[in-house]
């Protein structure tokens, strides 16, 4: 590997110092860092050199890209590594899915750090494609490529002594690997008990009060800003005082928003809020590397040359990204060359008939529960609605934004689960997706049964994807890798997703900022308050099906 020198305003984050200097790189490592100017001279360049950004919690699958293509887009924005939870593909394909992610990630110059999924399946109240018991999780944690136990969503299992849950946590402790948390709304004594069990982080706080509660018990808080779940505004004020215990993450990021920006955008927003730039950069660059013991350089002599060059410390526009001394992005252009991998999937249902979407009215009951989707949040509300009843069946009430939602089992032929949902705002057609956390059955929302059938069948024909149907117009983005990802060029996938997203918003009148991302969480039973699984409408507060 060639040697080179790079000059600029070097940002020493731990020392909270910026000096003009030169970095000498040899064989992928930083050989020397030296100042070139006497104190207080005028800098010779406006460029700044700093460690690369880290996404401290992301499901790569939600980008709809395989890891190598995710990396191709991420490096343009100065991201050099991720803490990646392969929970989604594990719920579809089990151990083979986790191994696929690890091996595909190795094909590109990028610092993926994968976790051992802790909750596969996430619950017993939906049909998943695989299961990972404590023994299999232990085997994963033994791997050098697996750096942590990923988000422990089963917080009731932690609190009430579930043996299998505690075996998984014990394995992580045995190998000296951290345990990620997932406990939305957990406060007080229960939060303390959860943290005391060994849970070290949480990315699910949606109020500053909740985050502060957990910080005071010693938990590290991840400020999440994804394509649907957006908690930046609620939490960023805590960084003034608690920056040493905070990080940035996206959690779930669709390809169009990944093409636009990544952690660099959160740095710019945080600085604009008046947060000290060194505190922001510690959260974005330093804290994840220390917490997860990442093999990522921190701009020190002897470290791997994982560094970025940016124009300024305001907008954080990235000029160059280096990983192990290799230039992987320059002036908005990715230099990462990805390699195709063998496909794997788990998709075994037949196309559906229109009669399977008929929602029989139970005793012509007028008031029934409906899901109220909240833009920018994973949580939903539980509300009563009065859908239209025609010929003994419930129908969507478009005028009052009460639309039919269905979940179709993708692993076998089974009855279609049906309910109603508010706040999608669609006036026409239907949308469907096999990206449906956590079990990734097919979830669809639509104004009529024919459109729902067409949208769902488009996804089934592709053995996974996202689709939209409006009259005679149909669009589908196929996701042949586990029904979650495409192995096509990342920018091509981003463009295709942008087109279908635009159709849903502009032609079908959805009022949501990210309709497909929001749709993907409407089957996420571990987030309150009301969701729909392939087995029925589920109350996330009582952990029971709605009768």
Contacts of 450 by beta carbon, 8 Å cutoff, 6+ apart = 354
pLDDT tens figures, 40-84: 555 556 799 999 999 999 999 999 999 999 999 999 999 999 999
Structure tokens at 438: 């956590």
Predicted local distance difference test score (pLDDT) of residue 340: 74
Instruction: State how far the Cα of 290 lies from the Cα of 100, in Å rounded to an integer.
Output: 26
Per DSSP, the three-state class of 468 is strand
Of 317, 285, 316, the closest CA to residue 14 belongs to 285
Predicted local distance difference test score (pLDDT) of residue 539: 93
* Minimum mean pLDDT range among 31-45, 118-132, 157-171, 228-242: 31-45
Instruction: State how far the Cα of 85 lies from the Cα of 201, in Å rounded to an integer.
Output: 13
Report the percentage of the chain scoring pLDDT > 90. 88
pLDDT tens figures, 427-440: 999 999 999 999 99
For residues 446-472, average pLDDT: 97
pTM of the predicted model as reported, rounded to 2 decimal places: 0.94
Whether the predicted pLDDT of 546 surpasses 80: yes
Instruction: State how far the Cα of 284 lies from the Cα of 278, in Å rounded to an integer.
Output: 10
Give the pLDDT band of residue 86 (cuts 50, 70, 90): very high
The DSSP 8-state label assigned to residue 485 in this structure reads B
Is it true that the peptide bond before 249 is cis, omega within 30 degrees of 0?
A: no
**Cα 221 → chain centroid:** 16
For residues 314-323, average pLDDT: 98
Number of neighbouring beta carbons within 10 Å of residue 331:
9
Q: Judging by beta carbons within 10 Å of its beta carbon (0-12, 13-18, 19+), is residue 387 exposed, middle or buried? A: buried
The domain spans of the chain are 52-296, 354-545
For residues 381-390, average pLDDT: 92
How far lies 1's CA from each of 29, 66, 322, 327, in Å?
A: 10, 27, 13, 11
* Torsion on CA atoms 516, 440, 466, 457, rounded to nearest 10: -130
pLDDT tens figures, 275-302: 999 999 999 999 999 999 999 999 999 9
Report the top-level CATH class of 52-296.
alpha beta
Predicted local distance difference test score (pLDDT) of residue 103: 95
- What backbone torsions phi and psi does residue 160 show, to the nearest 5 degrees? -110, 20
Of 209, 172, 215, 161, the closest CA to residue 192 belongs to 215
Please count the CA atoms within 13 angstroms of the CA of 273 that sit on its side-chain side: 18
Whether the predicted pLDDT of 452 surpasses 90: yes
Predicted local distance difference test score (pLDDT) of residue 38: 55
Is it true that the peptide bond before 471 is cis, omega within 30 degrees of 0?
A: no
Place of tokens 């997706």: 433
For residues 507-515, average pLDDT: 95
* Residue-wise DSSP of 394-408: EE-BGGGTEEEEEEE
């Amino acid at each position: 590997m060639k040697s080179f020198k790079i000059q600029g305003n070097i940002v020493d984050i731990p020392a909270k110092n910026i000096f003009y200097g030169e970095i000498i790189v040899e064989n992928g490592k930083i050989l020397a860092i030296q100042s070139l100017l006497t104190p207080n001279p005028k800098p010779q360049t406006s460029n700044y050199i700093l460690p690369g950004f880290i996404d401290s919690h992301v499901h790569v699958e939600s980008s709809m890209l395989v890891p190598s293509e995710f990396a191709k887009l991420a490096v343009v924005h100065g991201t050099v590594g991720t803490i990646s939870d392969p929970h989604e593909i594990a719920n579809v394909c089990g151990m083979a899915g986790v191994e696929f992610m690890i091996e595909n990630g190795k094909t590109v110059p990028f610092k993926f750090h994968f976790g051992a999924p802790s909750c596969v399946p996430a619950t017993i109240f939906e049909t998943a494609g695989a299961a990972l018991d404590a023994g299999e999780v232990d085997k994963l944690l033994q791997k050098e490529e697996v750096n942590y136990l990923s988000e422990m969503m089963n917080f009731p299992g932690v609190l009430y002594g579930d043996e299998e849950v505690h075996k998984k946590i014990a394995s992580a402790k045995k190998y000296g690997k951290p345990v990620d948390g997932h406990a939305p709304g957990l406060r007080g004594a229960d939060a303390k008990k959860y943290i005391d069990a060994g849970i070290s982080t949480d990315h699910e706080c949606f109020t500053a009060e909740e985050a502060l509660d957990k910080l005071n018990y010693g938990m590290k808080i991840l400020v999440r800003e994804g394509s649907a779940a957006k908690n930046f505004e609620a939490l960023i004020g805590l960084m003034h005082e608690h920056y040493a215990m905070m990080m940035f993450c996206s959690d779930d990021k669709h390809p169009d928003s990944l093409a636009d920006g990544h952690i660099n955008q959160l740095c710019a927003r945080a600085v604009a809020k008046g947060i000290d730039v060194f505190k922001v950069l510690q959260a974005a660059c330093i804290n994840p590397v220390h917490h997860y013991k990442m093999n990522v350089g921190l701009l020190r002599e002897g470290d791997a040359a994982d560094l970025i060059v940016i124009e300024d410390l305001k907008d954080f526009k990235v000029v160059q990204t280096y990983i192990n001394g290799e230039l992987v992005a320059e002036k908005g252009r990715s230099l990462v060359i990805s390699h195709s991998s063998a496909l794997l999937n788990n998709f075994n249902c037949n196309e559906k008939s229109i009669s399977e979407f008929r929602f029989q009215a139970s005793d012509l009951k007028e008031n029934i529960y409906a899901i109220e989707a909240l833009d920018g949040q994973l949580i939903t509300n539980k509300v009563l609605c009065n859908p239209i009843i025609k010929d003994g069946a419930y129908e969507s009430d478009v005028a009052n934004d009460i639309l039919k939602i269905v979940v179709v089992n993708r692993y076998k032929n089974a009855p279609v689960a049906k309910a109603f949902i508010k706040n999608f705002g669609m006036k026409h057609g239907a949308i469907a997706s096999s990206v449906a956390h956590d079990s990734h059955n097919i979830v669809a929302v639509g104004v009529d049964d024919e459109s729902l059938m067409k949208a769902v069948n488009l996804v089934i024909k592709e053995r996974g994807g996202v689709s939209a149907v409006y009259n005679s117009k149909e669009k589908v983005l196929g996701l042949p890798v586990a029904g979650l990802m495409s192995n096509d060029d990342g920018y091509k996938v981003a463009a295709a997703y942008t087109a279908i997203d635009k159709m849903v918003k502009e032609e079908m009148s959805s009022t949501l900022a990210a309709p497909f991302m929001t749709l993907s969480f409407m089957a996420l039973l571990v987030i309150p308050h009301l969701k729909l699984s392939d087995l029925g409408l589920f109350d996330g507060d009582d952990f029971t099906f709605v009768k």
